[in-house]
Amino acid sequence: MNIEKFQESMYKLVVDTSTKLPKDVRRAVKRAKEQESAGTRAAMSLATITNNIKMADDQVSPICQDTGLPTFKIKTPVGVNQLEIKTAIKNAIVLATKEGKLRPNSVDSLTGENSGDNLGAGLPVMKFDQWEKDYIEVRLILKGGGCENKNIQYSLPCELDGLGRAGRDLDGIRKCIMHSVYQAQGQGCSAGFLGVGIGGDRSSGYDLAKEQLFRSLDDVNPNEDLARLEEYVLENANKLGIGTMGFGGEATLLGCKIGVMNRIPASFYVSVAYNCWAFRRMGVSVDSVSGEINEWMYQEGEFIDFAQTEAEKKTAAAAASEGVITLQAPISEEQIRSLKVGDVVQINGMMYTGRDAIHKYLSDHDAPIDLNGQVIYHCGPVMLKDKEGTWHVKAAGPTTSIREEPYQGEIMKKFGIRAVIGKGGMGPKTLAALSEHGGVYLNAIGGAAQYYADCIKSVEGVDLMQFGIPEAMWHLKVEGFTAVVTMDSHGNSLHADVDKSSLEKLAQFKDRVYK
């Protein structure tokens, strides 16, 4: 095989997977947008999402800044050198990272050191199979950490909040899948997709679940019982009212695919792989001699490009400005305490990124800059430096905030931080600190990495680069950075409210459906 051509093909696969959603996912997002009532937070979120998809198309930039852990499924004819394929894929990953199509996400689990090129022990993940066909098939999924952290595995029988006992049968499986949607809330960037694996052991069950995410959304499960269950879950999960970003609304789940394998008598696992709306998976067939791409997968049916008409642009601009509160950083306590849950704000001025490493660092050290009255953004951006040494933001959506719950409240009080931006909300410890200190939590639209990168006008500096690009503290000058107040300084939390209401709605699915 021409290995140089094959490497070029793998580079194209990586870039397209990161920057372009496949046709079936686009259609699902469009249907979700059409379901929502105009003027709601969910409708605003979906408008931002579709705008972001179009921007990523046009700019050939990552749809979401968290390009995840690349996972390849590869089928090769007998006799093809898989070692050469591994090397070519690794080289393609390094080049895509260098050019800003992937964020450097590979971190040593013991030292915390970022390799900088997405390589490392066990990465990228490559799973090989042989087959009798004469061409190579390569499928790739880029699944970010926010949705990966909402994966869940159930061991039947078990007791589930709102649903009671789930037994070792099809109805128990149904309850587990419905519960998996509830527990994800908005933290996995809903509206989302499910891959479900029934049976196996703990590791093979999760592998089977992720494998379902490689199926087309338009296929029909060959197992009639599972086909009916897929339809049931997709219909009824959307009755939970969790909605896009967990803001409430009609679209909570966009797809559900279920697989089954045998198990041993003592174990009965239901494993769920949750995927965000930014469902980045592509596939290609490659000529095993030339190394060139023969055909792209997931390209059947209508293509939705989400281009807005001039009338739609005017309507969106009017909606974006109506009732929006402008905040200029640094922000006073008085301004913060005037905000309430549901307010839409636009931030101008400076904000500073801070993720896991920064929060741990600030809990034990002084801040490298004055954070009094400032805004912390839970974000690990994709950054590129030009020839003159200037940093540019290539993608900059929010990361899931709940990971910072052990630190957030005390750090806000310690440094005088007034606002935190992230996605998915935070817990009671942070909510109490917001009331005591005079702070607010702002929910940005998860996955909208191009939309928010466009709001960042310049990079004014960076600190703590020893933690790697995603974990460093970037100093960003922004204009019109839009987010929703979901936790205020008066003890109110939209996330707690939606969790409570969706749990009540979940209870309606407690009664047995499958006899």
Instruction: Tell me the per-residue pLDDT of 379-416, one tens digit each, with 9 for 90 and over.
Output: 999 999 999 999 999 999 999 999 999 999 999 999 99
Q: Mean of the pLDDT values across residues 284-309?
A: 92
Q: Which has more confidence, 316 or 352?
A: 352
- Burial of residue 350, with CB atoms counted within 10 A of its CB: 0-12 exposed, 13-18 middle, 19 or more buried: middle
Residue 330 DSSP class: S
C-alpha–C-alpha distance, residues 112 and 131, integer Å: 39
Report the DSSP pairing between strands 419-422 and 391-395: unpaired
pTM of the model: 0.94
Q: What's the mean pLDDT when you consider all of the chain?
A: 95
The stretch 255-269 carries a mean pLDDT of 98
CA dihedral 180, 355, 486, 143 (to 10 degrees): -30
For residue 272, pLDDT over 80 is answered with: yes
Q: What is the pLDDT of residues 84-124, one digit of tens each?
A: 999 999 999 999 999 999 999 999 999 999 999 999 999 99
Using pLDDT thresholds of 50, 70 and 90, give the confidence band for residue 307: confident
pLDDT higher than 60, residue 314? no
Specify the CATH number for 323-496; select among 3.60.10.10, 3.40.50.10800, 3.20.130.10, 3.40.630.40. Answer: 3.20.130.10
pLDDT of residue 308: 72
Q: Give the model's pLDDT for residue 175.
A: 98
- Cβ distance 185 to 264 under 8 Å? no
Mean pLDDT of the 131-139 span: 97
> Residue 239 pLDDT > 90, yes or no?
yes
Quote the pLDDT of residue 39.
84
Does 312 have pLDDT greater than 90? no
Inter-helix orientation angle 170-184/494-506, to 10°: 170
Residue (of 257, 214, 206, 205) closest to 234 by Cα position: 257
pLDDT at 315: 57
Locate the domains of the chain by residue range: 1-144+287-312, 145-275, 323-496
The length of the chain, given as a count of residues: 515
Nearest to 466 by CA among 115, 121, 113, 116: 113
Write down the pLDDT at residue 318. 54
pLDDT at 319 > cutoff 80: no
**pLDDT at residue 425 is higher than 90:** yes
CA distances from 210 to 95, 235, 259, 316, 481 (A): 26, 21, 10, 36, 34
The whole-angstrom separation of Cα 110 and Cα 359 is 18
pLDDT at residue number 316: 58
Alpha-carbon dihedral 68, 62, 377, 320, rounded to 10 degrees: -130
Q: Model confidence over 440-487: pLDDT tens digits?
A: 999 999 999 999 999 999 999 999 999 999 999 999 999 999 999 999
